[in-house]
């Protein structure tokens, strides 16, 4: 493409005589610095032209009217002034031979030139790196992460979920995998816990989690929010923390299971929104000794919960008084952190050893559903006698052999039921369904 006026362009295309050249027109003009870097400006201009589909000038092929020589070239759109154009003008002013130079301001001019040159080099390198490496700013990556859905994790507690194995956004998600939101905030820059909930008080804690009573701002209802006390940096830690919510989500609603609402990760910690209960059956929270009727009522309702989860192929493996909660006179089983599958297709991690049978301590996992039956029997035995079970020693081993000391003031059928639930042979223990159908519950108005 020929640069210059339209007259010169047409002259070369039509082989017309060149117009007369008057050198006096150019005597006062200053030299221009067309260095190699100007190709970047032209290239950027051409890219903009291509982007907005601006057509080039079309040279007429047949019109040879000489009057066209008198047509002046239309004024080109003024180019946006950039740092480079300022430097060119500065170079021309400095190189002009007829203009005096003020030596008192020479150092300031040199400083401005050096600063402009340094900034220009930084911008050129950044633009060149972006063009060559498909650079995306952190704000763009954050936006992509915000609109990109989280990975579709397969819930191992659900059956027939093979259609969800593939992650359709895996390729796009990998591009923002390295972006981590600042600590203390969620992916959108805000704390979901602080935004959605008003924390009232701490109502429980364990070795790994703590539980708070909260008020949800949007619906005005009370909930329990459990979150991990330490940050979960490793992917394996996160997946293990998700096992509890995946088990609860797969089970769905049951009146004797603590309700599950939502969960999320924030500041590398795992949060679970759960149904708020009044208290657990921990001996530290009980004001009086359990009566036999109360013990049978708790046994019956938790046995119904076990029947429900066992029917879906899931075992709890951490049944104990601290994980049995009360709300409006209804007993609910909670804390599914050790839940696994009966078919042993998932990793097995037993709960509190005080309520575990001997076979699970020996890593015999053939009758996992019967482990929950033993744990429920041990829990009711502890509530009936009013003192904690031993953590070790001879009495600890005696209980696992099925040798239970008599409970004063308790009926023989009640003590025999607990004894069969804690039988050393798991095969002789009743199933959850058989336990629910036991005639002993007639006395509390059940199974009639």
Q: Is the pLDDT of residue 316 over 90?
A: yes
Catalytic residue list contains 318: yes
One-character DSSP codes across 49-109: HHHTTPPPPPPPSS---GGGGGPPPPPPPPPPP-HHHHHHHHHHHHH-SSS---GGGHHHH
Indicate the pLDDT class of residue 187, thresholds 50, 70 and 90: very low
Mean pLDDT of the chain: 76
3-state secondary structure of 174: helix
- pLDDT higher at 164 or 214: 214
Q: For residue 130, how many C-alpha atoms fall within 13 Å in the half-sphere facing its CB? A: 9
Q: Is the pLDDT of residue 216 over 50?
A: yes
**pLDDT of 238:** 87
In the chain, where are the structural domains located? 1-80, 183-274, 281-444
Q: What is the tens place of the pLDDT at every residue in 62-90?
A: 555 555 555 555 555 555 555 444 444 44
**Residues of the chain with pLDDT > 90: what percent?**
45
Is the pLDDT at 308 greater than 50? The verdict is yes
Fold agreement (183-274, 281-444): no
What mean pLDDT is predicted for residues 318-328? 96
- Asked if the model's pLDDT at residue 36 lies above 80, the reply is no
Q: How far is CA 145 from CA 4, 63, 139, 266, in A?
A: 50, 59, 10, 15
**Residue found under tokens 């300022």:** 86
Highest mean pLDDT among 141-145, 155-159, 165-169, 248-252: 248-252
Please check whether residue 298 is in contact with residue 286, taking contact to mean a CB–CB distance below 8 angstroms: no
pLDDT at position 13 is 58
How would residue 119 be classed by pLDDT, with cut points 50, 70 and 90?
Answer: low
Q: Choose the most confident range, by mean pLDDT, from 50-64, 104-118, 178-192, 342-356.
A: 342-356
**What distance in Å separates the CA atoms of residue 323 and residue 229, rounded to the nearest whole number?**
19
What pLDDT, in 10s, does the model give residues 357-406?
A: 999 989 999 999 999 999 999 999 999 999 999 988 889 999 999 899 98
Residues 318, 335, 369, 372: which is the catalytic one? 318
Strand partners of residue 228 = 209
Q: What is the pLDDT of residue 51?
A: 43
The average pLDDT across 145-169 equals 60
Q: What is the rounded (10 degree) CA torsion for 177, 179, 183, 184?
A: -80
The CATH classification number of 183-274 equals 3.30.200.20
Q: What is the C-alpha separation between 116 and 113, in angstroms, rounded? A: 5
Does residue 271 have a pLDDT over 80? yes
For residue 399, what pLDDT is reported? 92
Average of pLDDT values for 214-240? 91
Residue 415, pLDDT > 60, answer yes
According to the 3-state scheme, what is the secondary structure of the chain?
Answer: CCCCCHHHHHHHHHCCCCCCCCHHHHCCCCCCCCCCCHHHHHHHHHHHHHHCCCCCCCCCCCCCCHHHHHCCCCCCCCCCCCHHHHHHHHHHHHHCCCCCCCHHHHHHHHHHHHHHHHHHHHHHHHHHHHHHHCCCCHHHHHHHHHHCCCCCCCCCCCCCCHHHCCCCCHHHHHCCCCCCCCCCCCCCCCCHHHHHEEEEEEEEECCCEEEEEEEECCCCCEEEEEEECCCCCCHHHHHHHHHHHHHHHHHCCCCCECCEEEEEEECCEEEEEECCCCEECCCCCCCCCCCHHHHHHHHHHHHHHHHHHHCCCEECCCCCHHHEEEECCEEEECCCCCCEECCCCCCCCCCCHHHCCHHHHCCCCCCHHHHHHHHHHHHHHHHHHCCCCCCCCHHHHHHHCCCCCCCCCCCHHHHHHHHHHCCCCHHHCCCHHHHHCCHHHHHHCCCC
| % of the chain exceeding 70 in pLDDT | 59
Residues 6+ positions from 17 with CB-CB distance below 8 Å: 11
Kindly report which listed range (149-158, 215-224, 272-281) carries the lowest average pLDDT score.
Answer: 149-158
**pLDDT band, very low/low/confident/very high, at 350 (cuts 50, 70, 90):** confident
| pLDDT value, residue 237 | 86
Residue 153, pLDDT score: 73
* Predicted local confidence at residue 20, as pLDDT: 54
pLDDT at position 109 is 47
Closest C-alpha to 423, from 404, 409, 408: 404
Q: How confident is the model at residue 206 (pLDDT cuts 50, 70, 90)?
A: confident
Asked whether the predicted pLDDT for residue 149 surpasses 70, the reply is: no
Region 39-47 average pLDDT: 46
- The CATH class, in words, for 281-444 is mainly alpha
Decide if pLDDT at 45 tops 60: no
């Amino acid at each position: 493409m020929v640069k210059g006026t339209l007259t010169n362009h047409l002259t070369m295309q039509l082989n017309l005589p060149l117009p007369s050249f008057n050198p006096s027109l150019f005597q006062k003009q200053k030299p221009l610095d067309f260095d190699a870097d100007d190709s970047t400006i032209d290239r950027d201009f051409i890219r903009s032209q291509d982007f907005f589909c601006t057509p080039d000038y079309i040279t007429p092929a047949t019109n040879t009217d000489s009057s066209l020589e008198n047509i002046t070239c239309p004024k080109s759109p003024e180019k946006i002034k950039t740092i480079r154009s300022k430097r060119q003008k500065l170079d021309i002013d400095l190189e002009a031979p007829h203009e005096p130079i003020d030596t008192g301001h020479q150092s300031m001019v040199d400083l401005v030139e050096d600063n402009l040159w340094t900034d220009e080099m930084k911008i050129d390198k950044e633009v060149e790196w972006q063009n060559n490496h498909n650079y995306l700013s952190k704000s763009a990556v954050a936006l992509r992460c915000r609109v990109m859905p989280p990975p579709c994790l397969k819930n191992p507690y659900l059956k027939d979920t093979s259609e969800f194995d593939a992650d359709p956004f895996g390729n796009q998600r990998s591009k923002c995998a390295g972006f981590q939101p600042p600590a203390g905030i969620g992916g959108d820059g805000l704390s979901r816990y602080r935004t959605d909930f008003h924390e009232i008080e701490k109502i429980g804690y364990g070795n790994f989690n703590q539980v708070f009573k909260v008020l949800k701002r949007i619906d005005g209802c009370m909930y329990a929010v459990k979150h991990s006390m330490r940050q979960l940096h490793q992917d394996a830690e996160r997946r293990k923390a998700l096992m509890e919510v995946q088990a609860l989500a797969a089970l769905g609603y049951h009146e004797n299971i603590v309700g599950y609402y939502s969960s999320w990760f924030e500041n590398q910690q795992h949060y679970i929104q759960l149904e708020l209960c009044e208290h657990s059956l921990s001996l530290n929270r009980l004001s009086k000794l359990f009566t036999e009727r109360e013990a049978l009522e708790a046994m019956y309702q938790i046995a119904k919960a076990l029947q429900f989860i066992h029917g879906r192929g899931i075992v709890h493996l951490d049944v104990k008084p601290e994980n049995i909660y009360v709300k409006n006179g209804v007993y609910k089983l909670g804390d599914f952190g050790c839940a696994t599958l009966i078919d042993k297709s998932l990793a097995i991690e037993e709960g509190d050893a005080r309520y575990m049978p001997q076979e699970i301590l020996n890593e015999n996992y053939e009758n996992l559903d019967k482990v929950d039956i033993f744990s429920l029997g041990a829990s009711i035995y502890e509530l009936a006698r009013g003192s904690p079970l031993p953590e070790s020693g001879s009495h600890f081993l005696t209980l696992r052999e099925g040798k239970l000391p008599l409970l004063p003031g308790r009926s023989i059928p009640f003590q025999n039921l607990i004894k069969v639930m804690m039988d050393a042979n798991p095969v002789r223990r009743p199933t959850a369904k058989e336990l629910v159908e036991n005639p002993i519950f007639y006395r509390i108005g059940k199974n009639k």
